[in-house]
Amino acid sequence: MSIRALSFFRRYHIPTFIIALLLFGLVLMSLRVKQRPGVAFFDALFMELTSPVQKAATFVIKTIHGVFQHYVFLVHLEKENGLLKRRMAELQEENHQMKERVMANDRLLKLLQFREKMPASMIAAQVIGQDPTSWFKSVTINKGEGDGVQKGMAVISPEGVVGQIFKTSPHYATVLLMTDYNSAIDAIVQRTRAKAIVEGKEENRCQLKYLLRTEEVVVGDVVITSGLGGVFPKGLMVGEIRSVDKKGHGVFQYADLVPGVDLTKLEEVLILSASPPPPPQPEEKEKKAKKTSAGSPKKK
Amino acid sequence: MKRFLYPFFAGLLLLTFQATLLASLPVNRIRPDVVLILILFLGFSYPTVLGGLIAFSLGFLLDLFSGNAFGLYTFTRPLIFFVAQLFRSHFYWKGFSFQFLFVFIFALLEGGLILLLVSGLNPSPFRNLYSSVIIDLLPQSIVTGLITPILFPLFEKGSLFLVTKLRVAIKRQG
């Protein structure tokens, strides 16, 4: 029987190998769907081994790009210098006005006790690679579990929301960008306070879903995070509405959104290492108030 | 072992190239899939077991650096390799038009398969993804097909170099 089985295997070893390999691929897919920890371990291991190649390539590309920018384009430097000086004067004026606004804003923020909602710390990371496929939108960064990065953490940049940590290894991580089809962010329209969900659509484009038809939103409206998802703190810039679609029937209208961050030119990002606390329930608020009123005389 | 490692590292370099330099192109959607070209080349020139393993490993790496949670390329890349092997003895694969058409069709087929798998594995359908077929997949497949006649001869030279090196090593060993 065993000899027969052996001769069968010898005869059909290539079809057997093909079927086995494809089945293994399917099993791996199934394990990933179920999010088994063993697969995540192997993912992290291989990511750790291969990411330095990407890091080195990005370094070489950036160096070459830098050389070009610094030396080859010197020809246009004089013209550009004059232009920049004028622009700088304009920006200085703008800067003064902005500083005033920022200071006022800071005071208001303190008054409204919004600061407690901000995360404790941020981790700065560098983008070392983009998604190699065209179907999915992600970037690889040079910070991982060893630096305190964990799956699900919010990733932002000074211009606004970038995405979420999707995979991690000890020194590297993958960020799922907000433009990916799998991404969904709880948001509000800043002007009208209308609630909606921002979903990824295509390259540097998102879609505003579940926005009630009765809400009046217009092109140019700014969309910010609502803070309800528990991942992003409230008030972060998500993007700007570019078109509104009220055609068709139903309760909802749809809008196209351009992210506040140009995700195709992303170089550095910030990871919020502490997720914002959930919005306090009315009962908790009362308890807190009682505690503080009971605790304050003791301190005295 | 060398017959596995050389193409694997070539694939890793191409993957890095795809994720870094090619990703910095002004229009992201015309970024060619150079790893797919390598796998299709291996389909014509490599034995089933070795080529299948390389395609599997490169698919795994592609999944690792992409934002997909399911590991779709670990399945599609070896499948593409095995299907490409079916054509190896039926066509003269060194002509420009065949190379372009062959890679273009396979890039479209793989895109279709991925779309099918993503739709099947997700509980809620991604309507946005369907528009990507025309916006992203079609231009990318055309560009991938167009650069194939440049890359295929390069891979062939590399493959010949590897074969001669192995032959010399065998002769030396007697």
What pLDDT digit, counting tens, does each position of A235-244 carry? 889 999 999 8
State the Cα angle at B31 between B27 and B36, rounded to 5°.
170
Contact B29 A137 (CB under 8 A): no
Per-residue pLDDT of chain B (174 residues; tens, 9 = 90+): 778 888 888 898 898 888 887 877 777 668 889 999 999 999 988 888 999 999 999 998 888 888 777 788 999 999 999 999 988 877 777 788 888 999 999 999 998 898 888 888 776 666 667 777 777 888 889 999 999 999 998 988 888 887 777 777 777 766
User: From B66, which residue of chain A is nearest by alpha-carbon distance?
Assistant: A131
Res A295: pLDDT = 42
User: From B48, which residue of chain A is nearest by alpha-carbon distance?
Assistant: A14
Flag whether residue A203 sits within 8 Å of chain B, measured between CB atoms.
Answer: yes
- Residue B40 belongs to what H/E stretch? helix B34-45
Tell me the chain A residues in contact with residue B81 when contact means C-beta distances shorter than 8 Å: none
Contact A32 B71 (CB under 8 A): yes
Those residues whose C-beta lies under 8 Å from the C-beta of residue B120, and which sit 6 or more positions away, are: none
Res A104: pLDDT = 66
CA distance B20 to B14: 10
Res A71: pLDDT = 63
Among the listed ranges A37-46, A210-219, B134-143, B149-158, which one has the minimum average pLDDT value? Answer: A37-46
CA distance A218 to A192: 10
CA distance A207 to A254: 7
Min Cα separation B171/chain A (Å): 29
**Whether this model's pTM surpasses 0.90:** no
Q: Which of B5, B9, B66, B74 to mutate to test the interface with A (most CBs of A within 10 A)?
A: B66
Flag whether residue A114 sits within 8 Å of chain B, measured between CB atoms.
Answer: no
User: From B81, which residue of chain A is nearest by alpha-carbon distance?
Assistant: A18
User: Who among B13, B48, B65 is closest to A14 (CB)?
Assistant: B48
Q: Are A148 and B37 in contact, with CB atoms under 8 Å apart?
A: no
- Chain A, 127 to 146: residues with Cβ < 8 Å from chain B are 128-138, 140
Is the predicted pLDDT of residue A296 greater than 50, yes or no? no
Q: Are A145 and A169 in contact, with CB atoms under 8 Å apart?
A: yes
What pLDDT digit, counting tens, does each position of A141-199 carry? 999 999 999 988 999 888 889 999 988 999 999 999 999 888 899 999 988 899 999 99
Is the predicted pLDDT of residue A110 greater than 60, yes or no? no
Question: What's the token pair of residue A230?
Answer: 């528990």
Tell me the chain B residues in contact with residue A178 when contact means C-beta distances shorter than 8 Å: none
Provide the ipTM: 0.78
Res A116: pLDDT = 52
Min Cα separation A108/chain B (Å): 39
